[in-house]
Amino acid sequence: MDQRLQSAYAGVAGAGTSVEQRNRVLRNTYWLLALSMVPTVLGAWLGVATGIMATMGPGMSAIVFLGGAFGFIFAIEKTKNSAAGVPILLGFTFFMGLMLSRLVGLVLGFSNGAGLIMLAFGGTGAIFLGMATLSSVIKRDLSTMGKFLFIGMIMVLVAGIANIFIQSSALMITLSVLVIGIFSAFIMVDLKRVKDGEETNYITATLSVYISLYNVFQSLLSLLGIFGGSRD
């Protein structure tokens, strides 16, 4: 769903990058990632409050999501080295929050919905901290792993689109588990690329990690809603 193709085939472009530069890119990535949560929450809140996403069917929602997401990602890649890069990235995260509002609204329909959302948020945070720690201690090159993850992501994306028409609960659960595994690993790979100097643009790095976190959170929330939702 993003610039994973470039990440999967990254070489050693950052071999000559200084430690200071790498740390600066990593620090800026973390700060921008934290900032991106604000428009995401605002987008989700607006979507739930207005019910705008609830008026769309699954097929139309998928078209809007894919069209909007790829459009934003293309714009971010084109402007990542200019002053417009950060505002466009934040606009993208607002859009993603809006797209998430349909699921958030459904979960809030449970009596324990707010608790499930906080649990999914905490679980996503724990996964991020775990993957960030692993990216610091693992010394081996993860580029081969990135290639397999990219292939897995494409397969999950295709299966997810197919399930819009199949409407299989079992397949949805399976895909949610796979998404959590694949994108958790992507967080580790992408952060390690920054730490190794292979990714030197913090906007691109933030985009990659944000998409992974978004998918992990969405899948966790879906699973919690399926298995932990209560109508009492």
pLDDT reading at 3 higher than 90:
no
* pLDDT tens by residue, 25-49: 999 999 999 999 999 999 999 999 9
Between CA 64 and CA 75 the distance in angstroms is 16
Angle, vertex CA 181, rays to CA 160 and CA 63, nearest 5 = 25
Confidence of residue 220 (pLDDT cuts 50, 70, 90): very high
Q: What token pair was written down for 118?
A: 């906080």
The rounded Cα 23 to chain-centroid distance in angstroms is 22
Cβ-based burial of 165 (10 A; exposed 0-12, middle 13-18, buried ≥19): exposed
Integer CA distances (angstroms), 80 to 3, 9, 77, 223, in order: 12, 20, 5, 34
The tally of domains found in the chain comes to 1
* Percentage, residues of the chain above pLDDT 90: 70
Q: Would you state the pLDDT for residue 156?
A: 94
- Give the 3-state secondary structure of 98-130: HHHHHHHHHHHCCCCHHHHHHHHHHHHHHHHHH
Mean residue pLDDT across the chain: 89
* pLDDT tens by residue, 88-127: 999 999 999 999 999 999 999 999 999 999 999 999 999 9
The rounded Cα 116 to chain-centroid distance in angstroms is 19
CB 96 within 8 A of CB 43: yes
Q: Would you state the pLDDT for residue 140?
A: 87
Integer CA distances (angstroms), 97 to 94, 147, 211, 214, in order: 5, 28, 11, 9
The rounded Cα 170 to chain-centroid distance in angstroms is 23
Q: Would you state the pLDDT for residue 128?
A: 97
Q: What token pair was written down for 123?
A: 């679980």
Q: Would you state the pLDDT for residue 56?
A: 80
| SS3 state of residue 169 | helix
**Residue 221: how many CB atoms within 10 A of its CB?**
24
The boundaries of the domain holding residue 41 are 4-228
Q: What token pair was written down for 164?
A: 């819009």
Residue with tokens 């920054």: 194
* pLDDT tens by residue, 157-189: 999 888 888 888 899 999 999 999 999 999 999
Number of H helices, E strands in the chain: 8, 0
